[in-house]
Amino acid sequence: MYIRRVSRKNKNGSTTAYLQLAHNEWDPVAKHAKAKVIYSFGREDEIDRSVLERLVQSIARYLTPEAALQAQNAIGDTAEFLFRSSKRLGGAWLLHQLWQKIGLDAILEKLFKDRKYQSSIERLIFAMVANRALNPSSKLAMEDWVKDEVYIPGLSEVGSQQLYRAMDELLEVQSELEHQIYCAVSDLLNLEVDLLYFDTTSSYFEVDPFDVPEDDDLRKQGFSKDKRPDLVQVVIGLAVTRQGIPIRSWVWPGNTSDMSVVDQVKRDLVGWKLGRVISVMDRGFTSEKNLRTLQRAGGHYIVGEKMRSGKETTDAAMSRKGRYHHVRENLQVKDIVVGDGEARKRYVLVHNPKEAERDRLRRKELIERLEAELEGLKQLSNQAHTKAACRLRTHPTYGKYLRQLKDGTLKLDKQAIRDAEKYDGKYLIRTSDDTLSAEDVALGYKQLVDVEDAFRTLKTTLELRPMYHRLENRIRAHILLCWLALLLVRIIEEETGETWTALRKELDRIHLGHFSSNNGDVYQSTELTPKQRKTFDTLGIEAPPKFLKIQPKA
């Protein structure tokens, strides 16, 4: 079956052509095939082209895409396109555009302008940062990732040794880089830096502690916040703004205590034009020495205070009579001043009624289980009784609600239970700033959760741990790269109101296809969904164009 064109000559010498749908049938008498007209489309110059297009489309439904393309190529002179490859584009494009919007490319190019490498150091650093944010892997695995899996603007392939050299170069400019990035980000986002949140975490190494050289001053065993005290680790600090943007990171030996780092943090932030800074820190930093350090040069602090510390001033604050002021749903505050003159200390006692009820119910369930355990002791023999009683007495949760009589019998300590009720749904905050309202103090301290969120992102989404680097400079550079990735991720989350995990999944659907023909190569991106386009618009950055590159053959 085919389209048949017939023509006739008119008296005036012109020619009129007609189009027909025909197929050949064998004529046994004439001994040859004759055309049989199935349908006449009419004169060629008056034909309705849409009729032919609908016919082609209806026929194409019964063909494979390859057969349909071959059929079209056979009819006309259209060049055949081959689909060569596809790379993920969306996530890397978004990070690249934000990288440029902040000015990180210009900062790095200026810092490395006198250093000549085969590949741009700035592009190598961006590739490692993008890898942390999109698909964390080793430097060796990044070779295939850049070459075959993701489109990195300005970088088609890379070697692992190039990446390691770029890490070494990055560490040499760390101090100036951090300062310039802070200035660029604070100007771009109008960051509020009157409150800075600081906390530490630890990250371990998958290596036997006995295999670590004695002269290794960074990887040490210490208190592990990852619950891996059997492994060596480093301690990492983050300073975060009230918007949750990390402005600086630190790395210390794994056996460093929280109490010993405040002085360095304070000194490192001098000259950053932060203005009046109120440092917000958790209970691990509340030594009197640290608090004096935070008040240098007119600074102030908001810190958590251990309610059961045994300090005279803390006990006085907890026992102070007075009514709570309701400031928000499930948030009540009581402003307390203890002492006079230089010994004067200001506390804010915060009460959450909903959390208090949860504490009461949890303790009730615990006491019921404990009573069942005590009842079971009566049925045990002497030796078994002694072992079970010791287990209960030393239990980290049950033990504080038990008391032992002179004959060795265990009983519920009702006074301990009544004492615990005093702390239900409460936490105590200490501040040196008298100009802040009790509500601002409470809300400022509650936002310390942003630092915890940042650490959670570092350890899960960006896969900071476990670390396999051995050299100290590589360890520090690895953490610096993770901080840069965290900076981009938190800016994106803050501006869009979406989690990076959800955004990354959506952006991974944007691909870049490579098509080739006899006439050249075309690089075309997939069509954006409304949700994807909204993400780019919200961040104020350009979405990837439909055709990223067209290379005609010479």
**Stretch 382-403: mean pLDDT:** 84
Q: Check whether 77 has a pLDDT greater than 50.
A: no
Token pair recorded at residue 274: 């932060």
**Residues whose CB falls within 8 Å of the CB of residue 332, separated by 6 or more in sequence, listed in order:** 324, 325, 326, 350, 351, 352, 353
pLDDT value for 390: 86
Considering only CA atoms, which of 111, 106, 249, 113 is closest in space to residue 173? 111
Q: Check whether 71 has a pLDDT greater than 60.
A: no
pLDDT value for 134: 94
174-201 tens-digit pLDDT: 999 999 998 888 887 777 767 778 888 8
Q: Check whether 398 has a pLDDT greater than 70.
A: yes
**Residues whose CB falls within 8 Å of the CB of residue 231, separated by 6 or more in sequence, listed in order:** 204, 205, 206, 207, 209, 221, 224
User: Which of 173-177, 247-251, 301-305, 384-388 is predicted with the least confidence, judged by mean pLDDT?
Assistant: 384-388
**Stretch 116-136: mean pLDDT:** 91
User: Which of 434-443, 458-467, 515-524, 542-551 is predicted with the least confidence, judged by mean pLDDT?
Assistant: 458-467
Token pair recorded at residue 494: 């803050």
* The model scores a pTM over 0.85: no
**Stretch 19-30: mean pLDDT:** 85
496-507 tens-digit pLDDT: 999 999 999 999
Q: What is the mean pLDDT of the chain?
A: 86
- Beta pairing class for 520-525 and 547-552: antiparallel
Burial of 262 (0-12, 13-18, 19+ CB in 10 A): buried
User: Which of 219-228, 371-380, 508-517, 543-552 is predicted with the least confidence, judged by mean pLDDT?
Assistant: 371-380
CA distance 307 to 301: 18
Cα pseudo-dihedral 494, 496, 497, 501, rounded to 10: -90
Top-confidence residue, 502 or 263: 502
Q: Tell me which of 3.30.200.20, 3.40.50.300, 3.30.420.10, 3.30.70.360 is the CATH number of domain 175-306+436-495.
A: 3.30.420.10
Q: Check whether 72 has a pLDDT greater than 60.
A: no
User: Which of 121-130, 460-469, 475-484 is predicted with the least confidence, judged by mean pLDDT?
Assistant: 460-469
Top-confidence residue, 241 or 484: 484
Q: Check whether 468 has a pLDDT greater than 80.
A: no
Beta bridge partners of 88: 150, 511
* Amino acid at residue number 114: D
As a 3-state breakdown, the chain gives helix, strand, coil percent values, each rounded to 5, of 45, 25, 30
* Amino acid at residue number 349: L
Q: Check whether 258 has a pLDDT greater than 60.
A: yes
Which of the four pLDDT bands, split at 50, 70 and 90, describes residue 537? very high
pLDDT value for 76: 45
Strands (E), 222-277: 233-241, 246-253
Cα pseudo-dihedral 285, 286, 290, 295, rounded to 10: 120
* Angle subtended at Cα 222 by Cα 220 and Cα 225, rounded to the nearest 5 degrees: 120
**Stretch 111-137: mean pLDDT:** 90
Considering only CA atoms, which of 11, 184, 106, 88 is closest in space to residue 532? 88
Top-confidence residue, 290 or 90: 90
pLDDT value for 40: 85
pLDDT value for 65: 54
- Whole-number Cα distances in Å, 46 to 13, 17, 67: 19, 10, 30
CA 345, chain centre distance (Å): 39
% residues pLDDT > 70 (the chain)? 93
User: Which of 68-72, 165-169, 441-445, 541-545 is predicted with the least confidence, judged by mean pLDDT?
Assistant: 68-72
Domain extents in the chain: 2-72, 175-306+436-495, 355-421
- H/E element holding 512? strand 511-517
